[in-house]
Amino acid sequence: MNKRVRKAVFPVAGLGTRSLPATKAIPKEMLTVVDKPLIQYGVEEALEAGIEDIIFVTGRGKSSLEDHFDHAYELEDTLEAKGKKAELEAVRQVLLEPGRVSYVRQQRPLGLGHAVWCARAFVGDEPFAVLLPDDLMLGQPGALKQMMQVYDKVGGNIVAVEDVPRELTNRYGILDVVSDDGKLARAKGLVEKPAPDVAPSTLSIIGRYILQPEVFTELAKHERGAGGEIQLTDAMAKTIDRVAFHGFRFDGRRFDCGNKLGFIEANIAYALARDDLRDGMNRILKQFA
Ligand code: UTP
């Protein structure tokens, strides 16, 4: 029986330079797709998957993230006084159970691996999930829940993966695959951002992980990798002979909201997925066809 995954880490301390100027004063994770900030989609996906405790690894200028999951008394009072029930419900729905959400600061954005390492005391000695909120996953059930179902069978480390065109391997962590049944691929190695001609495959890691605590031993070494950053991929790669590693192609679509076109595409796809917005969205799209 694999130990249950109860905790989720949301690294949200990055600078979001690819989304500037939008992210000058607003965290990237607070950018809105249709009517919800990216972070809310991620948190809802985690809760759906059975996650009980959440930690945000934040940085300077990210306080709106904390406020989003807290009470907004003036706003709630006003909505209540005006009888705006649906709006009040939408605002209150975002509240997380007291004591179930924590915040830790990554004082300098030294890389994703470093951000995850900042959550080590919160995670302790148990498996945990990592969700990168700028990767938006449209799926039913959500991507993390699908991964949990696989985790129950195979255990170890599991990451969400996607096939990418070979010319794009230098943007992703890439799996060195031993076996692949088209859904689940077992890896014997990982390479962060390999050049297309040396990439061991085109199977790339996207922003959902289920990890065993062994990864912290490697992250604690603070070794710099691609781009001079402390890379999560490198730390996972170093545990691969001790901890089984699988890449899982989830059922659904992933939108990279960390780049501008991906973010626009997500807005269109999420509007089309909504019963209340689909017709209006289709009418708008026809004008641009
Ligand atoms: P990205 O590399 O996409 O985010 O990291 P970024 O650095 O904010 O964006 P760009 O490339 O400059 O546009 C993926 C996730 O990891 C977090 C980010 O906040 C994002 O949610 N992250 C990244 C950290 O928390 N700390 C870091 O040092 C780096």
**What is the spatial distance between Cα 212 and Cα 148, in angstroms, rounded to a whole number?**
13
7: helix, strand or coil: strand
For the chain, give the mean pLDDT: 94
Quick one: which atom of ligand 1 is closest to the CA of 57?
25
Atom of ligand 1 nearest to the CA of 58: 25
Please state the rounded mean pLDDT for residues 26-44: 95
This prediction's pTM = 0.95
Mutate to test the pocket of ligand 1, among 9, 10, 15 (most ligand atoms within 8 A of CB): 15
The protein residue whose alpha carbon is closest to atom 1 in ligand 1 is 14
Atom of ligand 1 nearest to the CA of 109: 28
194 lines ligand 1 (CB under 6 A): no
Are 237 and 181 in contact, with CB atoms under 8 Å apart?
no
Residue 280: band (very low, low, confident or very high) from pLDDT cuts 50, 70, 90 = very high
Closest CA to 151 of 50, 242, 39: 50
pLDDT given at position 182: 93
Which candidate, 287, 253, 248, 288, places its Cα nearest to that of 269?
A: 253
Give per-residue pLDDT as tens, 169-228: 999 999 999 999 999 999 999 999 999 999 999 999 999 999 999 999 999 999 998 889
Q: What are the residue boundaries of the structural domains of the chain, listed by start?
A: 7-280
80 alpha carbon to ligand 1 midpoint, in Å?
38
Q: Which ligand 1 atom sits nearest the alpha carbon of residue 15?
A: 8
pLDDT range class, residue 266, cuts 50, 70, 90: very high
Q: What is the pLDDT of residue 103?
A: 95
The pLDDT, as a whole number, for residue 62 is 84
- What's the pLDDT score for residue 188? 96
Query: What is the Å distance from ligand 1's center to 57 Cα?
Result: 11
Query: Under DSSP, is residue 144 helix (H, G, I), strand (E, B) or coil?
Result: helix
Kindly give the pairing relationship between strand 128-131 and strand 7-11: parallel
pLDDT tens figures, 109-126 = 999 999 999 999 999 999
The domain at 7-280 falls in which architecture? Alpha-Beta Complex (3.90)
Q: For 36-78, what is each residue's pLDDT tens digit?
A: 999 999 999 999 999 999 999 999 888 899 889 888 899 999 9
How far is C-alpha 75 from the chain's CA centre? 29
From ligand 1's centre to the CA of 132, what distance in Å?
8
Q: What is the per-residue pLDDT for 96?
A: 87
> What pLDDT score was predicted for residue 102?
94
3 state DSSP class of 114: helix
Q: 82 by DSSP, 3-state: which?
A: coil
* Closest ligand 1 atom number to CA of residue 133: 21
Residue 14 CA to ligand 1 center (angstroms) comes to: 4
Pairing state of beta strands 184-192 and 245-248?
antiparallel
Ligand 1 pocket, mutate which of 134, 192, 193 (most atoms under 8 A from CB): 134
Centre of ligand 1 from the C-alpha of residue 108, in Å: 11
Ligand 1 site, residue 13, Cβ cutoff 6 A: yes
Q: What is the pLDDT of residues 216-236, one digit of tens each?
A: 999 999 999 888 999 999 999
Per-residue tokens: 74: 């003036």
Q: What is the DSSP string of 271-286?
A: HHT-TTTHHHHHHHHH
